[in-house]
Chains A and B, each alone.
Chain A
Amino acid sequence: MRQILERLINSKAKIFFILLLCTPMFWGIILQPNKLINEWKQTPVSFKIKIDQLFHDQQEGFFVAQLRWDTPSYHRSYRQTHFFYSLATVIISEASDTLSLISPKRYFQMDDGYISPPKIEPLPVVLFPFWLAGVFFLIKTKRYLVFVASFGLAVITFVLGHINFCYLFPIALINLYIANEGIFLISSPKKRAYVLILTVFYSTYLLGRTLWVVS
């Protein structure tokens, strides 16, 4: 038994799997496959709508005009307004929503209002400090691919137009991986075990809360 526990605590893959089982978002996806499939079926349509929305002339017509405004009595520099405010800058501004898709709040506090359980954080918030530690560790060890992958997936989600965990769950998995790396910065297996126990207890509470909310 002791050997099994030791192997468990020292195995990144096994800890990751336990963390995955502790995430409400995971169960939301597993138990609602129809929602997931329906959402994916709409991908081509939502992609087209998003692209149309981004590049539509109305963007320039409305947003840009509102920013370039002047009046008969108040003149502004043509060069300045056209340099700073254009369709390109509007698109960049819209695309900055991508950065919000990788912000920790989306994973450790907000539900997506669709597939993850309502009023419950998708990933247990007790993992947030370990996620932070994991981010620092990965930067220090120059393992940037994780962040590039996160950003790339966020761009895909943004372009597909639907902001929910049907598309964001790969980023959630990456965040879980980062939290796992943070947990493994704890050199003592005993302390790592305590962290895991805390996470399991907290997740059990979240599970109970999910059942309460749904009922």
Chain B
Amino acid sequence: MGSELVKYKYLVLVIIVFVIALLPRFWNLATFPRSLSIDEVAIGYNAYSVLKTGKDEWGASFPLAFRSVGDYKAPVDVYLTIPSIVIFGLNEFGERFPVALVGSLTIVVFVLLLGQLGFSRPVTLLGGVWLALAPWHILLSRAGYETVTALFLVLLGLLLFLIWEKREKVFYLTLSTAAMCLSIWTYHAERLFVPMLGLFLLIVFRKKLIICLQKPWRLLPLFLISLILLIPFIYLLFFQKSISARADNLLFIKDTYLTSELHGGYYRNITEFIFNNDIYLIFHQWIGQYLNYFDLKFWFFKGLNLTPPRFQDIGILNIIDLPIFFIGVFALLKTKKKILKFLVLFWFIASPLPASLTGGDPNPYRSLIMLPFFGFVIASGIELIWYSRKKWLLIFVFMAVLVCDFYFSDLYINNFYKFYGDVWNYGYKEASQFACANRDKYDQIVITNNYGTYFDAVFSTPYIYILFHCQYDPAKYLKSEKLSGKIENINIRKPNWSEDKKLKNALIIASPWDLSNDPPPPETIIKEIKFIDDKPAFYFLDTNKIQKK
């Protein structure tokens, strides 16, 4: 009875932690981020298209890779969005709901996982609260990122594996395998990380797995599920371009700095072949990308890129996490929990690998798989403090976490959109909806695909915003000509006002940069959309106003 009560109390506390996770992830979810990113609209519209027609926007029936805007999205999040669109409609909330929910559920899985790794119940709950309030995870959970769903599946797979290890029921091992295989279909980083994790678990738990193999028929469901989930993946990887196309776009080898250095097999002389060969150059570049993820500044000060360089920002962890992290490292080095030690070491070395294969600066979106490493270390630090005589320190720590979260919320709600509203295609929703609402009124509507806050730096694909925000009939869109740059009478191109002003009965939706050479008369401007800091984003120009003059 006593233990039942304790279990019940623990369950209630886990639910409370879950509710704590829900709050920052669902608060004004439809409003912040202030606009849907191109990935969000693409996922949302493709989900809508599959719902209505059984095909994606390109006409592929129930695809396993969504061509979308040429990035061949992994399918899990798209299919996960379908029930949400059925319930909530094709809008911001409907699109973001699944990942926000999965992100909140990740906290529950993390709490249970900490329990399986040997942490005490109070520590698992505090670790869960830490993750619930982690800005990095909140930021990605609110913006429909596939990496959040993938991380959930990896952690779920690991949890189920550890439950199998304790209870020795093959059912859990089967579910674990299914979750991990599904994560490979969810995000690209897991395609490299999960096989490594699988190998790690195979090595560490080999004795238990060998015992399992003595009754191989019990493993039949596991093998079947693995085959069902992995064979199509292998087919797509080797015989279709859908998976390799994405890798091709992102690989660090495509960085212009490196491509300008590579020789492509042609060397001037033997010394160049020995001392400046492509193998060394690629290795040298890759090691730089890998070591980028071991930068303390990226961890604690400038990781989330909510502001431009040199502006204050926030790391992938809060500044208050810094001392707890080092306490956690010390605690882990002293701990007798061998599995935890090995797991953390493995995660530390292996988790930056997928992101390190991509180009550019350290990326918080591609490296979310590193988050559990920090979670385990922070939990170890919390445990050391909890069992010391200075438990009261944790009150101070979590109050500081809340202050950091308020700081994060201000950066996120205000400054992120001031600096990067154009990168997130802010304004295209209103522009698309106005264009659709007025398409019968005009012979032609032109909408620019090039705009920006400070200059015309952003090249967008407005067609997908038009499809999403106008809830364009997918069956009708499937019959239309793709890549034509047109949706009915809406043309997507950079306006040339000098010529376009001669068009009869046309609406030109242009950025200020499209009009800088030939400013339009003020009476032609019938509407204006501004960025949140009042800088102009779009001008709506009615050519009829010129004709009348």
Chain A residues engaging chain B, CB cutoff 8 angstroms: 63, 66-67, 69, 71-74, 76, 80-81, 84-85, 89-90, 92-94, 96-97, 99-100, 102-105, 108-110, 119, 121, 125, 128, 136, 139-140, 142, 205, 208-209, 211-213
Contacts and interface: CB of A to CB of B under 8 A. Distances in A.
Contacts of A100: 295-297
A89 B312 contact: yes
B516 interface: no
Nearest to A95: B301
A110 B296 CA distance: 16
Contact of A105 (B294, B302, B329): B294
Contacts of A89: 312
Interface stretch (B22-30, B43-51, B53-61, B407-415): B407-415
A164 B334 CA distance: 36
Contacts of A125: 287
Given A67-B307, A71-B533, A140-B334, A105 B295 contact: yes
A67 B291 contact: no
A105 B291 contact: yes
A69 B532 CA distance: 11
13 contacts: A63-B310, A66-B418, A73-B534, A93-B311, A96-B297, A99-B296, A99-B297, A99-B300, A102-B296, A103-B294, A109-B287, A121-B287, A209-B275
Interface in B307-322: 307, 310-313
Contacts of A67: 307, 311-312, 415
* Interface of chain A: mostly helix, strand, loop or mixed: helix
A96 B300 contact: yes
Given A71-B534, A85-B312, A93-B311, 16 more contacts: A66-B418, A67-B311, A67-B415, A69-B418, A76-B414, A93-B312, A93-B313, A97-B297, A99-B300, A105-B288, A109-B287, A128-B287, A128-B291, A140-B333, A142-B330, A208-B275
A213 B280 CA distance: 13
Contacts of A90: 312
Interface in B268-313: 271-272, 274-276, 280, 284, 287-288, 291-292, 294-297, 300-302, 307, 310-313
A138 to B, nearest CB: 10
A25 to B, nearest CB: 15
Contacts of A128: 287, 291
Contact of A109 (B291, B302, B333, B415): B291
A108 B297 contact: no
